[in-house]
Amino acid sequence: MSDNVPVMPDEGSTETRHGATRRGAALLTALFGIVVISIIVSGAFFTSTQEFRGGRNQLVEQRAFAVAEYGLNAEVSNWDRGRNLPGGMAVGAVDSSRVYVAAGDTARVRITRLTPNSFWVVSEGYANIGNAAMESKRTTNAYVRLAYPSITPKGAVTTAGDINITGSALVDGDNVDPTGWSQCAAIPGSTVPALVAGPAANVSYKAGNIGSTPALVRDPAAADSNTYVRYGTETWNSLASNADIKIAGGIWNSGIGPVGTATTCDASVITNWGEPFRPGAVAGCYNYFPIIYSSASLKLNGNGYGQGVLLVNGDFEINGKFEWFGLIVVRDDVTKGNGTAQVHGAVFSANMSLADPTNFWAGNQTVQYSKCAVESALRGSAILTRVKERHWSQLQ
C-alpha cells in the first residue's frame, strides 16, 4: 500500500463526534431562541392588546357614566314645573320622553312621581366608540322633592299694620277660580274674610269696598312678623335667594307680559312673568310661575300682567292697568295707586301704615281671593331639591 493513500478517520472517532455535536447545538440553540422570542413578542402583543381593550372599555364606560350624569343633572336643572301642579303629573305616573345628547352619546331620563312632593329620576347613559360592538350603558338615579312655601292665606288681604280702603277699590274674600285653569278642580277652596288684621290695627273702609262676608277678622297672627317671613320649610330669604327674577326695584314703566310661543317660554326675559290667561297669547308660559324678588320698593307704572309669587322688600305701588294671579308679599306698605289693578289670589303686607298720604287700595283696584291662584303659584314656583340621605346612586 502506497504511503500517499489518505487514512479516513473512524466513524466513532473523537474528531467526528465533537464536530457533529458542535454543529447540532448551535442549530437547536437558535431555534430555541427564536421560539422564546416569539413567545415573548406574542405575550407582549397579547398584553398590550388586552390593555388597549381594557382602556378602551373604561373610556366608553366613563363616557356612558358621564352622559348619564349629564342627563340627570340637565333634567333636575331644567325641571318642567308643569309636573308640580295638581293634574300636571299624577302620583305613580312615569314620564320617559326626555332624551339628551352630548357629543353623539345619548341619555334617556325617566321620571316617576312617588308622592305629591317627591320624584324618582333615572338616567340611562349610552355611549359607543365607532361601532355598536364597543358600546356601554350606565344608569344613575336621584330622589328629589319639591320644596315650596307653605302659605295658607286667612284672608284676601292680611296686614300687620293699619289699612285704609277708599274710592271704588274692592276687596273680596269669595273664592273664585281663574278662568280656564284646569288644575283648579284639584284645589278646592272656600270663602275667607276680606281683611285679616292685627288686634291693634286701624282699619277703615266703606261698605262698597268689601265684597264678601265677613269683612274683617282680627287675628294675632297677622301682627306676628313671622307670618310674613316664615313659610313652613321655606323662608323669605330662601325664596329671595332662589327667585327666578331679581330686580332692583324702582319705577317700572315697561310692559310686563309673557315671551315665547305656543310651546316655548323664554324665562331669560326679565319682564316675562308668565301667562295667566286661558287661552292666552303665549301658551308655552302657562306653567311658568316665577318668583319675582324686588330688593327695594317697587312702583309699576306700565300696563302688564303675570302670575307667580311677587316679593317686594319695601313699599309696593301700582299705577296703570296691571293684572296679577298668585301671591304678593310686601315687607312694608301697599301704597295708593291710580291704576285699575286686579289681583287674583291674596296679598300680605307686613307693615301697612296709615301715614298720610299712603293708603291701601284706591281708585279702581281689586283684590279677589283665589285659592287656586295662590296654590298654583306656590307649587308652580317650587324649588327642586334632593332628599337629604342617599339621594343619588349608580344602578348599573
Q: In what helix (H) or strand (E) does residue 378 lie, and over which residues does it extend?
A: helix 371-380
The mean per-residue pLDDT over the stretch 212-241 comes to: 92
For residue 164, report the phi and psi dihedrals to the nearest 5 degrees. -135, 120
Q: Give the span between the Cα atoms of 371 and 204, in whole angstroms.
A: 25
Task: Work out the pLDDT band at 220, boundaries 50, 70, 90.
Answer: very high
Question: Looking at residue 25, what is its pLDDT?
Answer: 75
Q: In what helix (H) or strand (E) does residue 298 lie, and over which residues does it extend?
A: strand 298-300
**Is the pLDDT score of 6 beyond 60?**
no
Q: What is the pTM of this model?
A: 0.78
- Is beta strand 131-147 parallel, antiparallel or unpaired with respect to 383-386? antiparallel
The mean per-residue pLDDT over the stretch 64-89 comes to: 85
Q: Give the span between the Cα atoms of 263 and 331, in whole angstroms.
A: 36
Q: Give the span between the Cα atoms of 285 and 307, in whole angstroms.
A: 10
Q: How many percent of the chain have pLDDT more than 90?
A: 42
Do residues 211 and 251 touch, judged by C-beta distance below 8 A? no
Question: Looking at residue 130, what is its pLDDT?
Answer: 66
**Is the pLDDT score of 356 beyond 50?**
no
Q: What is the pLDDT of residues 28-57, one digit of tens each?
A: 777 877 888 888 887 777 777 666 565 566
Which amino acid is it at 137? K
For residue 162, report the phi and psi dihedrals to the nearest 5 degrees. -75, 155
Do residues 344 and 308 touch, judged by C-beta distance below 8 A? no
**Is the pLDDT score of 162 beyond 90?**
no
Q: What is the pLDDT of residues 267-300, one digit of tens each?
A: 999 999 999 999 999 999 999 999 999 999 999 8
Task: Work out the pLDDT band at 329, boundaries 50, 70, 90.
Answer: very high
Q: Which residue has the higher pLDDT, 232 or 16?
A: 232
Q: Give the span between the Cα atoms of 66 and 105, in whole angstroms.
A: 10
Averaged pLDDT of the chain: 84
Q: Residue 332: name the closest of 358, 367, 357, 306 by CA.
A: 358
Task: Work out the pLDDT band at 357, boundaries 50, 70, 90.
Answer: very low
